[in-house]
């Protein structure tokens, strides 16, 4: 298959690369060549070209952190901080997913919306309910998106309607992983302790064992001052929040890395451990604003060589559009520079775009850029409504990034397969 258009992606160095009217040659979902039409080898001269004319083609975006069951109340209840918000809005909603009929309806809307969004891949929290989680994974598999999904574990500090015993949490996790083993091509399970306050030490350690070397693990880290205080009380043995995870075997070496959402208040010591354990940070700027959490030190993470991707964190963030998160990330980094640390240079456009594509892409393998050997995740963007009169592709892309909600998508490919 050959797809042609104006290619915009990030290089390994994190700069923006623009290739005007170039062809992407795809074999079995993998990019085998990128060149102008003239440069196509003779063997491909007679192949049909899917020519998208003057459209922009960008890599599929990656949502590193979101909660599928919370999609039902996105854009609502943005008037609290984390812990009150969980008890008031989140836990009651998540409890509803015990009812598989409710889950079916709600997850259908979520999967439809994610499919229509600019994201081709996502790392998703479900709820603690095994049946509903498998249902969600079935639907995601059907959509053609490529996702990691976690059945959530929580055996303490929740409501009566949304809690497991330690044993049932471990049992159901094992059973769920068994089901997943042979069921999916594109959808993978990820171990998902909600966060330290929701999981007893025993549960955490068992989950670390279950994770072993084959599974990834996702959770929340250092999001809100009150949450951090609470973790300190709960884990007197630990020198910090991430260290508490580490001491409970969450960060053991595995083929699939750990993802920690937020990291708003990670200090130098926590940064070192993030780096040492090869943890991906899921930066969720909109969520951090909406829950009054604060501004994460993203410049410092990047300087330390920590890998940072972007997350919508639905429903603490309200928009599924990861480019909106990229814009918010730039904005927050400017305020961080202004108010918190004049040595932390604001993020550049290219860095934010890289955090939406290439950096989190590495979590999935060779994903998130247009290079030989990379999986062909592509969005065909119609930016005509914004950019009718602009020739400069760099400017077209820049404006599209800021105003992508005003544009539309002509097509969406995941590993070379057209899903929209």
Q: Where on the chain is the footprint of a second copy (CB under 8 A)? A: 74-76, 78-79, 289-290, 292-295, 318-319, 330-331, 334-335, 337-340, 346, 348-349, 386, 395, 398-403, 405-406
Nearer to a second copy, 246 or 382 (CB): 382
Angle between helices 166-183 and 201-211 (to 10 degrees): 20
Nearer to a second copy, 106 or 147 (CB): 106
Nearer to a second copy, 69 or 208 (CB): 69
Nearer to a second copy, 370 or 400 (CB): 400
Please choose, from the candidates 150, 148, 140, 200, the residue with its C-alpha nearest in 3D space to the C-alpha of residue 172.
Answer: 150
The count of residues in the chain is 420
Nearer to a second copy, 78 or 163 (CB): 78
Please choose, from the candidates 325, 255, 253, the residue with its C-alpha nearest in 3D space to the C-alpha of residue 296.
Answer: 325
The least distance separating a second copy from the CB of residue 59, rounded to whole angstroms, comes to: 20
The least distance separating a second copy from the CB of residue 401, rounded to whole angstroms, comes to: 8
Nearer to a second copy, 48 or 101 (CB): 101
The least distance separating a second copy from the CB of residue 197, rounded to whole angstroms, comes to: 21
Compute φ and ψ for 248, nearest 5 degrees.
-100, 20
| H or E segment to which residue 7 belongs | strand 2-10
* Cβ partners under 8 Å of residue 99, min gap 6: none
The least distance separating a second copy from the CB of residue 339, rounded to whole angstroms, comes to: 5
Cα separation of 63 and 262, whole Å?
Answer: 13
Sequence-ordered strand ranges (E) for 227-333: 258-262, 280-283, 308-310
In angstroms, the first-to-last Cα distance of the chain is 16
The least distance separating a second copy from the CB of residue 114, rounded to whole angstroms, comes to: 14
Nearer to a second copy, 130 or 292 (CB): 292
Cα separation of 177 and 197, whole Å?
Answer: 24
The least distance separating a second copy from the CB of residue 77, rounded to whole angstroms, comes to: 8
Cβ 140 vs Cβ 419: under 8 Å: no
| Greatest CA separation for the chain | 68
Place of tokens 């860095």: 351
Compute φ and ψ for 222, nearest 5 degrees.
45, 55
Nearer to a second copy, 213 or 389 (CB): 389
The least distance separating a second copy from the CB of residue 25, rounded to whole angstroms, comes to: 32
The least distance separating a second copy from the CB of residue 177, rounded to whole angstroms, comes to: 33
H-type helices in 125-276, by residue range?
A: 130-143, 166-183, 201-211, 225-234, 241-247, 268-276
The least distance separating a second copy from the CB of residue 295, rounded to whole angstroms, comes to: 7
Cα separation of 102 and 39, whole Å?
Answer: 53
Strands 408-414 and 378-382: antiparallel
Nearer to a second copy, 20 or 395 (CB): 395
Q: Is the dihedral of CA 67, 68, 70, 76 positive or negative?
A: positive
The least distance separating a second copy from the CB of residue 403, rounded to whole angstroms, comes to: 5
Nearer to a second copy, 75 or 365 (CB): 75
271: which 2 tokens?
């940064």
Cα separation of 85 and 102, whole Å?
Answer: 22
Strands 187-189 and 146-150: parallel
The least distance separating a second copy from the CB of residue 292, rounded to whole angstroms, comes to: 4
Nearer to a second copy, 256 or 316 (CB): 316
Helix (H, G, I), strand (E, B) or coil at 307: coil
């Amino acid at each position: 298959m050959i797809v042609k258009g104006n290619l915009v992606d990030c290089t390994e160095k994190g700069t923006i690369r623009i290739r005007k009217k170039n062809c992407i040659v795809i074999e079995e979902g993998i990019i085998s060549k990128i060149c102008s039409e003239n440069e196509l080898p003779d063997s491909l001269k007679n192949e049909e070209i899917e020519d998208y004319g003057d459209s922009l083609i960008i890599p599929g975006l990656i949502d590193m952190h979101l909660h599928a069951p919370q999609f039902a109340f996105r854009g609502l209840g943005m008037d609290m901080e984390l812990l009150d918000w969980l008890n008031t809005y989140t836990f009651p909603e998540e409890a509803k997913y015990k009812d598989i009929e409710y889950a079916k309806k709600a997850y259908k809307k979520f999967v439809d919306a994610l499919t229509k969004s600019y994201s081709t891949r996502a790392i998703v929290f479900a709820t603690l309910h095994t049946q509903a989680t498998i249902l969600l994974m079935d639907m995601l598999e059907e959509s053609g998106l490529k996702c990691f999904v976690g059945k959530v574990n929580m055996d303490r500090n929740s409501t009566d309607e949304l809690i497991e015993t330690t044993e049932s949490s471990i049992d159901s996790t094992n059973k769920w992983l068994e089901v997943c083993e042979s069921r999916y091509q594109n959808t993978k399970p990820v171990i998902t302790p909600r966060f330290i306050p929701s999981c007893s030490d025993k549960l955490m350690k068992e989950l670390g064992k279950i994770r072993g070397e084959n599974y990834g693990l996702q959770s929340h880290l250092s999001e809100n001052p009150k949450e951090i205080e609470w973790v300190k009380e709960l884990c007197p043995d630990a020198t910090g929040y991430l260290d508490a995870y580490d001491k409970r075997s969450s960060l053991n070496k595995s083929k699939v890395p750990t993802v920690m959402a937020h990291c708003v208040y990670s200090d130098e010591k926590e940064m070192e451990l993030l780096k040492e354990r090869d943890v991906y940070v899921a930066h969720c700027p909109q969520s951090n604003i909406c829950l009054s959490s604060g501004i994460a030190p993203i410049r410092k993470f990047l300087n330390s060589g920590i890998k940072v991707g972007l997350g919508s964190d639905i429903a603490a963030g309200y928009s599924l559009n990861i480019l909106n998160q990229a814009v918010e990330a730039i904005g927050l980094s400017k305020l961080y520079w202004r108010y918190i640390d004049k040595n932390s240079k604001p993020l550049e456009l290219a860095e934010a775009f890289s955090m939406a594509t290439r950096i989190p892409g590495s979590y999935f393998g060779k994903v998130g850029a247009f290079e030989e050997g990379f999986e062909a995740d592509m969005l065909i963007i119609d930016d005509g409504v914004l950019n009718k009169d602009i020739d400069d592709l760099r400017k077209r892309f820049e404006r599209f990034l800021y105003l992508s909600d005003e544009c539309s998508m002509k097509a969406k490919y995941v590993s070379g397969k057209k899903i929209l």
